[in-house]
Structure formats: C-alpha cells, structure tokens
Amino acid sequence: MLGSQYYDYFIKNFVENNNKIRKKGGLYKLIGKNNNNTFYGRLGMNPERLSEEISNNLNINNPNYIKIVNINGCYISYTKKEKSISNITISASITAKARIKLYKGFLNVIKTGGKLLYCDTDSIICEYKNNCDVLDKQIGELYFDSKNSDTIIKDCVFACPKTYALKYENKEVVKIKGFNSNPSYDVFKEKFYNKETITTINKE
C-alpha cells in the first residue's frame, strides 16, 4: 500500500474522524487536538534518541550500554532504541503543508479586505470593518469562528507567540505560554504598554 492508497487508508481517515471529534467542542476539542499533536509529535521525534534506565543494580559490562552515569550509587544507563516509529520526512511534510495553507489564509484575508493581527499553527486572528457573511467561503479551508456578537473580539493585545489577551463582549481570554494562572485583561494590557513585568503563579 503506497502513495495515495496509504494516505486515504490511514492519514485521511484519521484526520476526518479526528475533526468530527473536535467539532463537538469542550473536552472533545481538547482530545482531538491532543490526538493531532501526539500523532505528529511521535513522527517528529529524534530517531537517534537514547533510552534511559535508572537502577542501583546495573550490569555495567553490558555491551549495549552507550553511556553509564553513576550518581551516589544510582546508575543511569543509555542505550539505542531497537525500533523507532519516527519518520522525519513525514513530519517535515506535515509542517510544510500546514504553513502553505496558513500562508494562503493570510493572502485570502488580505484580498477580502482584512487585516492580519495574529496567527498560530492552525488559526488566524484578523480584523474586518465590513460585513463578514461571505468569509467562510473566501478564506479557504479555515472556518469563521466569530459569527455571533459574543464571539467577536472587541479589543486585543498580542505580545509574542502564545502570549496574548482577548476581550469579548462578556468574557476575557489571557494566554501566557507555560502558565495556567494569568492576570486580567486590563492588567495584561497595562503592563504590556508600560513595558512592565507581569508576575504570575502556577497552580499545582
């Protein structure tokens, strides 16, 4: 099974079924996202990555060990994995294809009178001053997420990748990569424009 047959049998089915899961929203959306990331991430892992074993009773003469570290009588051994499921070629092609689609989305936003504000690996945040009823068909394979007044962004601040603050009609979203306890929208915005340090505390 090669080429398009392999794609239709496995990749296409996986993506389509996973998209159905994500469209249910809530926890299903998170599960679907994790499925995608895990699938892609495993393919992109370093095939030369070593396996680690920690023991206080290690056969240091084992010829398969590449390296042994002794820390207070506790041995850490490193060996090559017998089999690897990594496929850097497929992994690289996935990210390349994703970038192409994202760049096409950029162009379509600009062509339809929009202004690019921020993007992630699978999403674009943009500004439109006119009616956006036709956007679903015009921005390619991306779907329009702000169809209702309560999902339209009223104000926003983008500091850097994975770090931003969004203000909607009835809610706020503040994301800072690596932290799960974030400040309010107004605090984030004030600190950002005044070039002040934002202090957060990670919850256990």
Integer CA distances (angstroms), 56 to 63, 79, 86, in order? 18, 17, 31
Tens digit of each residue's pLDDT (9 = 90 or more) over 137-146: 445 466 666 6
Query: So what's the pLDDT on residue 45?
Result: 74
Query: So what's the pLDDT on residue 138?
Result: 47
Q: What is the mean pLDDT of residues 98-118?
A: 88
Query: So what's the pLDDT on residue 5?
Result: 65
Q: What is the mean pLDDT of residues 76-105?
A: 78
What are the boundaries of each domain within the chain? 3-43, 50-80, 97-193
Do residues 28 and 21 lie in contact, with contact meaning Cβ atoms separated by under 8 Å?
yes
Out of 14-18, 51-55, 124-128, which region has the weakest mean confidence (pLDDT)? 51-55
User: Is pLDDT larger for residue 141 or for residue 72?
Assistant: 72
Give the amino acid at 66.
Answer: I
Query: So what's the pLDDT on residue 1?
Result: 46
Q: What is the CB neighbour count within 10 angstroms for residue 109?
A: 24
Tens digit of each residue's pLDDT (9 = 90 or more) over 173-204: 999 887 877 889 999 999 999 988 877 665 55
- Render 135-157 in DSSP notation, one character per residue: HHHHSTT------SGGGS-SEEE
Tens digit of each residue's pLDDT (9 = 90 or more) over 149-161: 677 889 999 999 9
H, E, C per residue of 52-92: EEEECCCCCCCCCEEEEEEECCEEEEEEECCCCCCCHHHHH
Query: In this model, does residue 59 exceed pLDDT 80?
Result: no
Query: So what's the pLDDT on residue 164?
Result: 94
What is the b/e burial string over 157-167, where b = at least 16 CB atoms within 10 angstroms of the residue's CB? beeeeebbbbb
**Nearest-angstrom CA–CA distance, 27 and 114:** 31
